[in-house]
Chain A
Amino acid sequence: MTRPDLSTSPVPGAAFGTPVLEVDDLHVEFRTRSGVVNAVNGISYSLAEGETLAVLGESGSGKSVSAQAIMGILDSPPAVITGGGIYFQGEDLLKQSPEEQRKVRGPGISMIFQDALSSLNPVYSVGYQIGEMFRAHRGMSKRDAKKHAIELMDRVRIPAAASRVDDYPHQFSGGMRQRVMIAMAIALDPRVLIADEPTTALDVTVQAQVMDLLKDLQRDTGMGLVLITHDLGVVNEVADNVAVMYAGRIVERGTVDDVFGNPAHPYTDGLMSSVPQVEAKGGRLQPIVGQPPNLAAIPSGCPFHPRCSRRRLGAAAAPGRECATDVPPLRLVAPGREAACHYSEEVLGV
């Protein structure tokens, strides 16, 4: 089988210009008493200002752990970053002291989480918690910080911000709490916002409001957005580029139109056909067989091969491309898109 020559093709994400955040061959493992769990196994991506990159994966695919590594909030121990680099505006964060890192995170990179209630401190008012960003990073007085907090609450469209600034997290609804989190995250005008399942706990109408808000804020500030999610619909509506993760690796990367229009990896393909759509009743769902792998015992070769309908084992495989023994590298399979499958060309049908 011949492979197309892609030496001059653009790599995914190239259209957006200078990257502000780059992750290079990141490895994270958890050293537990019952063994080593390989949560992230060499992922690389870059994010430009104004770009929205969706990291799509199921639970246990390593998508949240990689984000926590970027933010420096991994629980260590047991988590250890065993290799790779995280570059923010060209500087490797992993080589900096915690003090230097702290100066970058906050004004540079910030993060919002899935569960807004447990991410907020229940005994401080939301105004105090939003204002903390200004007090800690800009040395503002309490009074000025509160004034800024009210402005921010207005900006994230919390109604009657001035009268709610002294309210506590439990007095807000789920959607409003997530807005408080967003207000804290954008307080210092970061260049990169990492949103880890920001709308998973929210109802669909509230989800639409919050995603709209995030997109508007991005348009105003030009920040890069890393959107971690398992929801294919959210990715399609919000993101420019998508990286699909499986077993701690990126298995496919490209623009959302390309990846969703014509998947190059059997896992992405399987995900697309296992999800019912609201547009049509559709026929029988085509689930991916089996369970997602245990990260303490990732299958040899391609981690997806035990569940893959296109796997080639033994003599059926091309030399060096045996699915159970040879790990497929993430490689260019078409202009502007990468996939980690020995037989992506077949999946693509080219």
Chain B
Amino acid sequence: MSDDSSGSIAARNERGADRSAESDRSALSEPTTGATAASRTASTPGEELLEIRGLKKHFPLTQGVVFKRTIGHVRAVDGVDLTMRRGETVGLVGESGCGKSTVSKLLVALEKPTDGQILYKGRDVARMSGRALKAYRREVQIIFQDPYASLNPRMTVGDIVSEGWAVHTDVAPKKGRLQRTQELLDRVGLNPDYVNRYPHQFSGGQRQRIGIARALALRPEVIVCDEPVSALDVSVQAQVVNLLEDLQDEFGLSYLFIAHDLSVVRHISDRVAVMYLGSVVEEGTDAQVYGSPSHPYTQALLSSVPLHEPHLRGQKDRILLQGDVPSPANPPSGCRFRTRCWKAQDICAQEAPALVDRGQGHPSACHFAEARTVVPVDVE
């Protein structure tokens, strides 16, 4: 959209201000959206929205310049199962290279899965095409990690936020677009008068708000948040986390919240899945996973998080893992974690443990799963 056309929209918008009652109803202004969200949640509480079954994504490793030969595969995602219900926040944690971000790209259909299925409202996303895929792409939006790289420096904020409407024209009628953009900016805590500014005029936290407004513009049902706050300063991080929580309540959104910061994930998530080397090793509510972790990797991960309270210092069970994460191009046989696990036995090398409940109360992919308190409970 050029400056010219946004100017003309502004002019039209001013002229149309008198007819605001009418345009309010047709544009997706707050009352309309609020009502839809409310009716949605009322009619179908906790309905399963997304189901991921055995999801795999292998990237080929090639050699040669002219005649490329495939010499192996990087198993970035190798068997992920996950479900997300409406209005819920599912946290996905793991260290760098564990495949979290590939899962997010698969979810928003930027990558095609090698194997497995993503079922959205019961339909396989990989088999969607045409109208169905277009609708899916509108309903499942994404917020990226890097607020500097993910916004086009040559587009104004208004153009960035409203760009999705060029494809999904039915979401916002042409007439009320500027007003709707300004409403969105206001909702995410930015001055609505900033529509004609460029991304470089904003700080990191403000840019992340622009990214959130862009995702909201298409009235999504699911937002995949890929490390949305890890690039931000701590004092600004909390502002964005609170904003995400408010928006969830207001619009009935479901989040897949991907992060490496275990504290932030615990804070925002209803359920948490822990990933290691391409697959989920443990899954449960935040109290289950943090309070009684049963997979050795989860225990080691949690025991490494530095605590903030002086009186809890030294009370933690420290588990120091040896060595580095194996290469996803050549993962260990059987259990992926066995090379660094203190519980490993012969069976671990032969048989990959399934992600099931072995009596510890929530699913864990370990043959010898056993609940253990790692993080001291803050009684103060």
List the interface of chain A (C-beta within 8 A of B): 58-59, 159, 173-176, 203-209, 211-212, 230-234, 236-238, 256-257, 260-261, 270-272, 274-282, 284-289, 291-292
B309 & A236 in contact (Cβ 8 Å cutoff)? yes
A274 surroundings in chain B (CB, below 8 A): 234-235, 237-238
A205 & B238 in contact (Cβ 8 Å cutoff)? no
Residue in A174, A204, A272, A280 whose beta carbon sits within 8 Å of that of B304 in the complex = A204
A208 & B241 in contact (Cβ 8 Å cutoff)? no
Closest beta carbon of chain B to A62's beta carbon, Å: 14
Chain B residue nearest in CB terms to A292: B233
Q: A274-B235, A278-B375 are in contact. List 5 more A-B contacts (CB 8 A).
A: A208-B304, A237-B313, A270-B235, A279-B375, A279-B377
- Stretch touching chain A among B50-58, B317-325, B359-367: B317-325
Q: Chain B 174-186, CB within 8 Å of chain A: the 1/0 string? A: 0000000000000
Closest beta carbon of chain A to B316's beta carbon, Å: 9
B238 & A275 in contact (Cβ 8 Å cutoff)? yes
Contact sample, A vs B, 19 pairs, CB 8 Å cutoff:
A58-B235, A59-B233, A204-B95, A204-B301, A209-B320, A209-B321, A212-B320, A232-B234, A233-B307, A237-B306, A238-B306, A274-B238, A275-B238, A276-B263, A278-B263, A279-B377, A279-B378, A284-B245, A292-B233
* B302 at the A interface (CB under 8 A): yes
* B70 at the A interface (CB under 8 A): no
* B344 at the A interface (CB under 8 A): no
The distance in angstroms between the C-alpha atoms of A181 and B241, with both chains bound, is 35
A278 & B305 in contact (Cβ 8 Å cutoff)? yes
Residue in A208, A238, A257 whose beta carbon sits within 8 Å of that of B318 in the complex = A208
The distance in angstroms between the C-alpha atoms of A173 and B97, with both chains bound, is 12
Residue in B233, B245, B302, B310 whose beta carbon sits within 8 Å of that of A260 in the complex = B310
B242 & A285 in contact (Cβ 8 Å cutoff)? yes
* B15 at the A interface (CB under 8 A): no
Closest beta carbon of chain A to B204's beta carbon, Å: 9
Residues A285 and B305 in contact in the complex (CB < 8 Å), given A209-B320, A276-B264: no
* B201 at the A interface (CB under 8 A): no
Residues A234 and B377 in contact in the complex (CB < 8 Å), given A204-B260, A275-B238, A281-B266: no
Residues A284 and B242 in contact in the complex (CB < 8 Å), given A233-B307, A270-B235: yes
B235 surroundings in chain A (CB, below 8 A): 58, 270-271, 274, 287-288, 292
A260 & B205 in contact (Cβ 8 Å cutoff)? no
A205 surroundings in chain B (CB, below 8 A): 95, 300-301, 304, 320-321
* B132 at the A interface (CB under 8 A): no
Number of interface residues of B (CB under 8 A): 48
The distance in angstroms between the C-alpha atoms of A234 and B95, with both chains bound, is 18
List the interface of chain B (C-beta within 8 A of A): 95-96, 203, 205-206, 233-239, 241-242, 245, 260, 262-264, 266-268, 286-287, 290, 300-313, 318, 320-321, 323-324, 375-378
A237 surroundings in chain B (CB, below 8 A): 306-307, 313
B307 & A275 in contact (Cβ 8 Å cutoff)? no
The distance in angstroms between the C-alpha atoms of A222 and B47, with both chains bound, is 60
The distance in angstroms between the C-alpha atoms of A196 and B237, with both chains bound, is 21
A284 surroundings in chain B (CB, below 8 A): 242, 245
B310 & A276 in contact (Cβ 8 Å cutoff)? no
B96 & A203 in contact (Cβ 8 Å cutoff)? yes
Residues A232 and B233 in contact in the complex (CB < 8 Å), given A204-B260, A208-B320, A287-B242: no
Residue in A159, A233, A271 whose beta carbon sits within 8 Å of that of B306 in the complex = A233
Closest beta carbon of chain B to A263's beta carbon, Å: 12
Closest beta carbon of chain A to B293's beta carbon, Å: 11
B308 & A232 in contact (Cβ 8 Å cutoff)? yes
Residues A236 and B242 in contact in the complex (CB < 8 Å), given A212-B320, A271-B234, A276-B263: no
B266 surroundings in chain A (CB, below 8 A): 276, 278, 281
A287 & B238 in contact (Cβ 8 Å cutoff)? yes
A176 surroundings in chain B (CB, below 8 A): 324
Chain A residue nearest in CB terms to B94: A203
The distance in angstroms between the C-alpha atoms of A343 and B278, with both chains bound, is 52
- List the 3 shortest-distance A-B pairs measured between CB atoms, nearest first: A233-B306, A287-B238, A276-B267
Chain A residue nearest in CB terms to B268: A276
